[in-house]
């Protein structure tokens, strides 16, 4: 008989509930108990926020978005902002209290479902002696050591559907539509949805862009009778020599700045430079919502079941990962050491270039290719 506690941390992603479903079912078959910690580590900090999870609690949740446990991206127990008596904010480490509660509750393992931030916290608890298994989540798909995170496929589907819809309105008005999608450090969502959604330009954090190239692509469209264009830009993309546009820190306890604004910036530059009717929109949290796609459901269910198998085998400090088509354990430290970037030599990037999509550096790229060919 084992007692497991599960938490969901960071920004939510479609598929979180499917992982919880698989964990509860896999544990139930083994006669183990599962508890859920509400809002990240809140349940381990304040035991009233722990909930026992039964089969009834998780009935049919595999198909739903969000997380029944709630989530937060402001809850790092190793650096928590607390107001002191003088009204000043102090950063304190409350991880020992969580360790004590974990032991007091008699838990055997913590399953931490999260992106790089949450898994780093899980790794620090593992170093303090907590048996931990990680499950990789993020719509951004930017975690090293796993081929895919769940949530990404759903986000790409949502963004692709939006692009499909924007084509007709862009065409009707001879307009440029600039669509800002999520992707802080890597351009996976922009690249996948942009290629599949017929974008003319895709701007990603991995390639600092040149507005001359972006505008040239739009005016080149007109040479062959296409008077409209679709530009997809990842929130973390930046102009060559510029910085990532953000909205500041925003919230107390949040470790990352809030990104946003690059889409409108690109739109205003297009208007200014080529006097083209241009509109921008931000897809934002639409990409995080809704029911997970079949791909994400299956992946999330497989991750949840694989996490429980690791616990059964007594393997901790690892994250379950998708490698080729298998579930494998990888050390948590490998999962968090760097962000997974789009490989600029991958066939997806080459496909984008070959089918005429501008990645913000088109001219440079093809000139370089020609020069290499001449040498």
> What amino acid positions are annotated as catalytic residues?
140
Q: Which of 19, 139, 232, 310 binds ligand F6P (CB under 6 A)?
A: 139
User: Of 106-135, which residues contact ligand F6P (CB under 6 A)?
Assistant: 115
Size of residue set near ligand F6P by CB under 6 A: 12
183: Cβ contacts below 8 Å, ≥ 6 apart: 140, 142, 189, 190, 204, 205, 234, 235, 236, 237
CA distance 182 to 233: 9
- Per-residue DSSP letter, 184: S
Torsion sign (Cα): 250, 252, 257, 260:
negative
Site pattern 68..87 for ligand F6P (x: CB under 6 A): -----x--------------
Cβ of residue 205: shortest distance to ligand F6P, in angstroms?
11
CA distance 109 to 102: 9
Answer yes or no: are the C-beta atoms of 125 and 98 closer than 8 Å: yes
Cβ of residue 49: shortest distance to ligand F6P, in angstroms?
20
Assess 140 for contact with ligand F6P (CB under 6 A). yes
Cβ of residue 184: shortest distance to ligand F6P, in angstroms?
5
Q: Which of 9, 11, 15, 292 binds ligand F6P (CB under 6 A)?
A: 11
Q: Which is nearer to ligand F6P, 33 or 180 (CB)?
A: 180
Q: Which is nearer to ligand F6P, 198 or 253 (CB)?
A: 253
Assess 318 for contact with ligand F6P (CB under 6 A). no
Exposed e or buried b per residue across 103-141, where buried means at least 16 C-beta atoms within 10 angstroms of its C-beta: eeeebbbbbbbbbbbbbbbbbbbbeeebbbbbbbbbbbb
Q: Which is nearer to ligand F6P, 140 or 264 (CB)?
A: 140
Q: Which is nearer to ligand F6P, 158 or 221 (CB)?
A: 158
CB atoms within 10 A of CB 23: 28
Cβ of residue 317: shortest distance to ligand F6P, in angstroms?
23
Q: Which is nearer to ligand F6P, 210 or 235 (CB)?
A: 235
Q: Which is nearer to ligand F6P, 198 or 289 (CB)?
A: 289
Q: Is residue 281 within a helix (H) or strand (E), and if so which, with residue range?
A: strand 278-282
Q: Which is nearer to ligand F6P, 151 or 317 (CB)?
A: 151
CA distance 281 to 177: 8
CA distance 107 to 87: 36
Q: Measuring CA to CA, how many Å separate 85 from each of 34, 74, 154, 252?
A: 38, 22, 46, 18
Cα–Cα nearest to 75, from 132, 101, 37 = 37
Q: Which two tokens stand for residue 71?
A: 């989530």
Q: Give φ, ψ of 69 to 5 degrees.
A: -90, -15
Cβ of residue 3: shortest distance to ligand F6P, in angstroms?
30
User: Of 167-226, which residues contact ligand F6P (CB under 6 A)?
Assistant: 182-184
Q: Which is nearer to ligand F6P, 53 or 259 (CB)?
A: 259
Cα–Cα nearest to 142, from 152, 134, 132 = 152
Cβ of residue 122: shortest distance to ligand F6P, in angstroms?
16
Cβ of residue 340: shortest distance to ligand F6P, in angstroms?
13
User: Of 265-304, which residues contact ligand F6P (CB under 6 A)?
Assistant: 288
Residue nearest to ligand F6P (CB): 182
Assess 138 for contact with ligand F6P (CB under 6 A). yes
Q: Which of 6, 109, 259, 299 binds ligand F6P (CB under 6 A)?
A: 259
End-to-end CA distance of the chain: 68
Cβ of residue 75: shortest distance to ligand F6P, in angstroms?
12
- Please give the residue ranges that form the binding site for ligand F6P (CB under 6 A): 11, 73, 115, 138-140, 182-184, 235, 259, 288
């Amino acid at each position: 008989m084992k007692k497991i506690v599960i938490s969901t941390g960071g920004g939510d992603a479609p598929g979180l509930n499917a992982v919880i479903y698989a964990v509860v079912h896999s544990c139930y078959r083994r006669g183990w108990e599962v508890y859920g910690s509400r809002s990240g580590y809140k349940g381990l900090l304040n035991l009233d926020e722990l909930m026992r999870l039964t089969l009834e609690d998780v009935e049919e949740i595999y198909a739903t978005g969000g997380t029944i446990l709630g989530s937060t991206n402001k809850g790092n127990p190793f650096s928590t902002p607390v107001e002191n008596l003088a009204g000043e904010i102090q950063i304190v480490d409350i991880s020992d209290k969580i360790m004590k509660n974990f032991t007091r509750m008699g838990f055997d393992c913590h399953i931490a479902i999260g992106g790089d931030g949450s898994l780093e916290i899980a790794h620090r608890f593992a170093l303090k002696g907590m048996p931990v298994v990680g499950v990789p989540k993020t719509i951004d798909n930017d975690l090293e050591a796993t081929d895919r995170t769940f949530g990404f496929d759903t986000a790409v589907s949502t963004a692709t559907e939006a692009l499909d819809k924007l084509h007709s309105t862009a065409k009707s008005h001879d307009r440029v539509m600039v669509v800002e999608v999520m992707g802080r450090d890597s351009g996976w969502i922009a690249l996948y949805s942009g290629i599949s959604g017929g974008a003319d330009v895709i701007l990603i954090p991995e390639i600092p862009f040149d507005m001359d190239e972006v505008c040239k692509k739009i005016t080149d469209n007109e040479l062959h009778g296409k008077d409209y264009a679709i530009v997809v830009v990842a929130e973390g993309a930046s102009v060559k020599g510029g910085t990532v546009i953000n909205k500041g820190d925003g919230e107390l306890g949040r470790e990352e700045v809030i990104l946003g604004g690059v889409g409108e910036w690109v739109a205003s530059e297009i208007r200014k430079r080529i006097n083209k009717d241009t509109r921008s929109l931000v897809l934002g949290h639409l990409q995080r919502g809704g029911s997970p796609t079949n791909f994400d459901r299956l992946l999330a269910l497989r991750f949840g079941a694989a996490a429980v198998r690791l616990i059964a085998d007594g393997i901790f400090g690892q994250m379950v990962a998708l490698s080729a088509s298998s579930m494998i354990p990888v050390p948590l430290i490998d999962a968090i050491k760097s962000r997974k970037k789009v490989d600029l030599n991958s066939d997806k990037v080459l496909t984008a270039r070959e089918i005429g999509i501008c990645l913000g550096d088109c001219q440079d790229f093809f000139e370089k290719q020609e020069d290499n060919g001449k040498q």
